[in-house]
Structure 1
Amino acid sequence: RMYLEYGYLSQEEYDVYNNLLNALLEHVSPPKLMIYLRVSTDEAIRRIHRRGRPDEIEVEREYWDHLNQFYEKNYQDFNLGKLLVLQVDGLDYVHRPEDRQYIMDKIRQAHQMPAGLPTVLSAADGK
């Protein structure tokens, strides 16, 4: 949807994509657990600069803000199963094993929750 809003896709192209997506979704099961690693735009941009990929660095902040808003809305509307939202601004799961372990523990906990319990399991408990 964001590509349509930004003009990267025409309405016709978006409709074709959306129709294909819906046709494919009819043949797959929904995920047992959706994991959203929530990060602020500022932190995302810091990580982008650390990675040093020129194609990402050159992108305007407005795009990253818009992408973040898109993800927030997308996951707010998620209703296909359990959703684990992890606030990861203060975590460095690439370089710190304890942060990786924290995320893995939260995923295990979410997997153990019965399907009928709250859809969103948010984890931002002081990490």
Structure 2
Amino acid sequence: MNIGVAGLYAFMGHAFLPNQVAEQIGWPTGSPFQFEIAIANLSYGLLGFLCIFIRGKFWMAVVIGNCIFLWGAAYGHFVQMMKGDKSPYNTGIFLYAGDIVIPLLIFILMFYYYHSQKK
């Protein structure tokens, strides 16, 4: 559920308030690439909610894909921090909680759940 809500929230910001979000991240405004980020977040948002209806191991693929996306984004934020970008959405709670800690917790829970089902 977290992936669904977080994905749709990020989509709305990047799609409907792109200049404001870009400034808070430290990106130049007006980039068409930001719409692609919005769509990537929309896809994970919808996949997160589809986990409610599609059973089996579908949710594991969503978790793994989302973790790769968010950890890759975190790496990009760290690179930008090293270059001096101290913007609030580049260095703050969105980075540490949203791109690192929450995906890590979801991944760990998935790992333990998967291994508990094998017994």
Same fold (TM over 0.5): no
Shorter-chain TM-score tier: 0.3 to 0.5
Report the structure number with the largest CA radius of gyration.
Answer: 1
Instruction: Specify which structure has the higher proportion of strand.
Output: 1
The two structures have a TM-score, normalised by structure 1, of: 0.33
The two structures have a TM-score, normalised by structure 2, of: 0.35
